[in-house]
Amino acid sequence: MRRDTSGRSLADATSNGIAATHRGDFGLYLVLDKMLWQPSSAATRGLAAFLRVGGAPGDRNLISLEADAGLTYKGLFPSREADLMGIAASYGRIGGAARGLASDAVLFTGVEQPARDYETVLEVTYQLNVAPWWVLQPDLQLIFHPGGHIAAPFAARVEQPIPNGLVLGIRSTVTF
């Protein structure tokens, strides 16, 4: 992700442009999912939490560390016991090779650009069980440092990062 087959930076004008290859790759992850609290009168309702953490070598993967955590509550409203509300946060760190390539690009081109670092997402969602066969799920996400703070090229000599984003969505699931 940073060097060519001769060891030069891919951002260097004298690079052969052929990315170096690596032998093998791996990743490790951990998932924890736990019910934290349930009302004594309702076995299907309650508050749960989750945590996921994963890592991979930063010299060959765009994301070297990813972590997300959140809370869900099933049956928040007494008349809507099958509905699910969730809130979560996610963090992805850009791997060392991709960060290094961005720094090399500044060095070799002289064009300033933001340093690639991480992307973070905050999310709120609600799963509405409209019918036994139909689920609607509105979703709201705030994205900070989209693409790891990657530059959005403009005509000016200084590149600006892609601005933080707001994503609104709705998912519909029909089971038949």
- The domain segmentation of the chain, as residue ranges, is 28-174
Instruction: Write out the DSSP string of 10-44.
Output: TTSTTS-S-BPP-S----EEEEEEEEEE--TT-SS
Nearest to 92 by CA among 133, 52, 138: 52
Q: What is the pLDDT of residue 40?
A: 85
Token pair listed for 81 = 């016991």
Q: Confidence band (pLDDT; 50, 70, 90) for 86?
A: very high
pLDDT digits (tens, 9 = 90+) for 123-170: 999 999 999 999 999 999 999 999 888 877 654 555 678 889 999 999
Strand 151-152 with 134-144, pairing: unpaired
Q: What is the pLDDT of residue 112?
A: 82
- Cα–Cα dist 9/105, whole Å: 9
Q: For residue 83, count other CB atoms closer than 10 A to its CB.
A: 19
Residue 81 predicted with pLDDT over 70 = yes
Which residues make beta-bridge pairs with 27?
none
pLDDT digits (tens, 9 = 90+) for 2-29: 999 999 999 999 999 999 999 999 999 9
CATH number of 28-174: 2.40.160.180
Establish how many alpha carbons lie within 13 A of residue 73's alpha carbon, considering only the half-sphere containing its beta carbon. Answer: 10
What residue type is assigned to position 140 of the chain?
A: L
Q: Which residues contact 131 (CB under 8 A, 6 or more apart)?
A: none
Token pair listed for 164 = 């933080």
pLDDT digits (tens, 9 = 90+) for 46-80: 999 999 999 999 999 999 999 999 999 999 888 89
**CB 161 within 8 Å of CB 151:** yes
Q: What is the pLDDT of residue 122?
A: 98
Q: What is the pLDDT of residue 63?
A: 95
- Cα–Cα dist 138/157, whole Å: 40
- Of 81-95, 100-114, 125-139, 155-169, the poorest mean pLDDT is in 155-169
Q: What is the pLDDT of residue 158?
A: 58
Strand 160-161 with 118-131, pairing: unpaired
